Each structure stands twice: as C-alpha cells, then as structure tokens.
Amino acid sequence: MKLPNKIGVLTSGGDAPGMNAAIRAVVRACAYNNLESVGVYRGFQGLIEGDFKELNARTVKNMINRGGTFLKSARCKDFLNAEGRRKAFDNLKRENVDALIVIGGDGSFAGASVFGKEFNFPVIGIPGTIDNDINGTDYTIGYDTALNTVVDAIDKIRDTANSHNRLFLVEVMGRGSGDIALNAGIGAGAEEILIPKLNMGLERLLDSLNRSKKSGKTSSIVVVSEGEKIGENILELAEYIEKNLPEYEVRVTVLGHIQRGGVPSCYDRVLASRFGVGAVDALLRGETNVMMGIIHNRIISIPFSEAIKGDNTIDEELIRVADIISI
C-alpha cells in the first residue's frame, strides 16, 4: 500500500473543546514527517464543496488553548448519499490529498468508514465529542472540559439552592450515554442522577427525595441527563415533583451549549495532542478505517466497526458510589 504524502483533516458533528489542539497536532505531526497537510472546512460539507486550505506548522499557532474548532464543523446530510461522497472523493483527488483524518463522533465515523471502503481511501478517526459515548476508548476529546464546566455551574447553583432551601433540576447534555450526568453528578455532589439507561422511574425518585428531606437536607441538586424519560421533558418532571411533594420548591436549569464551549482542560489538550500524533503515525503504518482510542492511558487504534457499535455500558461502580455518597 502506498503511504500518504498529503493528509486532509476535518472536524465533524458537534464541536468539542480540544478539537483545535487535535488539528494542531495532526498538522505538526505531518510537518515533522515531511508530509503536507490540508484543512477541510465545515466537515463533510466542505469536503463535498471543496472548501480546502493548506495548513502548516505555523498556521496552527496559538490554537492549543482555543475552544471550538477553527476549521468549523457541520452535521452533513449530503455525505449520506453516494453522489455526495463521490464529489468529496473527486475534490480530494484534485487536491492530491491521499489520506483523511476525521475528528468527530460515531456518526462521523460511520460516514468515514463507508467512504474509506467505497473509494479504498485511507481514513483515520479521532474521537472528539463531549458525550464520551464511543466504544473502544476510555475518553473522547472535550469530555473532561465539559465535566469541569458542568461541575463549575452546579457549584454556583448550589449556592442559591442552599440559600433558598430549593430543589434544582439541572439538565446536562450527553445524548443517550449519561456519562456527563453520572460523573459531573458525583463531582458536584448531586442528590440524584437521572440517566436514560438507568430508567429510575418517578416513584423511586420521589422516595429518594422524601428520604433526603427526612434526613435533614434542606436543598437538593438532581442532575438530569438529556434523553431521560420521566415526563416529556425536564419541565414536566419538575411539575410531577411539585405536585407529589408540595413541600419542595423546584427550579430548573438547562445548561445547554455552554457545555460545548470554553478553553480546553489540560487533560483534553494532552489527549488531543496524543491522538493527533497517533493518527498520523497510524497512517504511516498503513492503517486505515480505524479510530484512535485511549485505553488504560495507552494510545491504541480499533476498527471503525467496533467504535460505532453504540453499546457502551454504564459503570456500575460509579452508580454505587453516587448512591453511597448522596446519603
């Protein structure tokens, strides 16, 4: 197999803090190995539209500490069609790009995998999403920063919750996975953590809140992962609680997209740098259709097919810890 001379890099799906650090690492690893690098703007959409820009070690200066992604990102429907992917391939050929690194989540890897096989084109994935919901890696870029953002926000909410003896429902992101809710919930000392996979149910939640009250707690924080199923949405959940436990004064905070922004944590910068260098190394070893991952603090690569299985499980030990420390 011919090794690449010019590597394209793009960011796809929801942005995550640390994506810039990953792009920077890819570009600098290319420069180190005397390879050219090109940035593709707006993810797969820019690939289809030929929105490319040459990058070099200096064009990525002052990037390691910046949130978001300077290449911009998109969720691209056209890449689901063979016609869109054909246009993308033609653009890459025209620019003499002979390998692609995709920084994104499992949806992006599903597209990258089809593309790689369809055109026998070398593609490597780097997991970048605040959700931490990808198989084959302990951590994804952006997750650690998002956790710190959430904990910081809940610390502030706790001050006002405590001053008014209120119950706060705090909704966090994470799609179906609940990793942000579980870990930030423990870190911020939440009374209850509701995640879709656990499916706690209203009765058990009310029992637990009753116990909290009886044990002398005057205020409470309940972290609710988006996608949690008690009620239509978090406002309906708040109504249920107020109706069944009138002694509680309930307030709702939806943290939303602040979880995706901000300066990346040191952990995310280091992780992104390791993934970027690892991805170029993998291409130079002749690997394709794989995602970089970190398992027990070692950088590894696994086939896309493993990464996009979507069956990552809940950590039972964390649930036990959350239950014990919220007594």
Residues forming the active site = 131
Q: How far apart are CA 49 and CA 220, in angstroms?
A: 50
Work out whether 260 is an interface residue with ligand F6P (CB under 6 A). yes
Distance of CA 290 to the CA centre of its chain: 18
Kindly write out the interface string for residues 172-201 of this chain, putting x where it contacts ligand F6P by CB under 6 A and - elsewhere. Answer: -xxx--------------------------
Among candidate residues 319, 115, 290, the one with its CA nearest the CA of residue 225 = 319
Instruction: Single out the residue of 11, 113, 129, 288 in contact with ligand F6P (rule: CB under 6 A).
Output: 129
Mutual angle of helices 106-119 and 82-94, in 10-degree steps: 70
Shortest spacing between CB 143 and ligand F6P, in angstroms: 10
Distance of CA 6 to the CA centre of its chain: 27
Work out whether 106 is an interface residue with ligand F6P (CB under 6 A). no
Query: First CA to last CA across the chain, in angstroms?
Result: 59
Shortest spacing between CB 42 and ligand F6P, in angstroms: 14
Site for ligand F6P in 147-176 (CB under 6 A): 173-175
Q: Give the residues across from 125 on adjacent strands.
A: 102, 291
Residues in contact with ligand F6P, counted by CB under 6 A, come to a total of 10
Shortest spacing between CB 142 and ligand F6P, in angstroms: 8
State the alpha helices, DSSP H only, in the chain. 19-32, 43-49, 82-94, 106-119, 143-164, 179-187, 202-214, 234-244, 266-284, 304-307, 316-325
Instruction: Single out the residue of 130, 193, 195, 322 in contact with ligand F6P (rule: CB under 6 A).
Output: 130
Q: Smaller CB distance to ligand F6P: residue 28 or 260? A: 260
Which token pair is 267? 């952990």
Binding segment for ligand F6P (CB under 6 A), chosen from 125-133, 147-155, 235-243, 307-315, is 125-133
Q: Smaller CB distance to ligand F6P: residue 105 or 127? A: 105
**Is 52:41 a contact under the CB 8 Å cutoff?**
yes
Shortest spacing between CB 137 and ligand F6P, in angstroms: 15
Q: Smaller CB distance to ligand F6P: residue 4 or 174? A: 174
Shortest spacing between CB 58 and ligand F6P, in angstroms: 31
Kindly write out the interface string for residues 7-36 of this chain, putting x where it contacts ligand F6P by CB under 6 A and - elsewhere. Answer: -------x----------------------
Tokens 């420069």 correspond to 31
Among candidate residues 184, 233, 201, 172, the one with its CA nearest the CA of residue 209 = 201
Strand 220-225 to strand 99-104: parallel, antiparallel, or no bridges (unpaired)?
unpaired
Site residues (vs ligand F6P, CB under 6 A): 14, 105, 129-131, 173-175, 226, 260
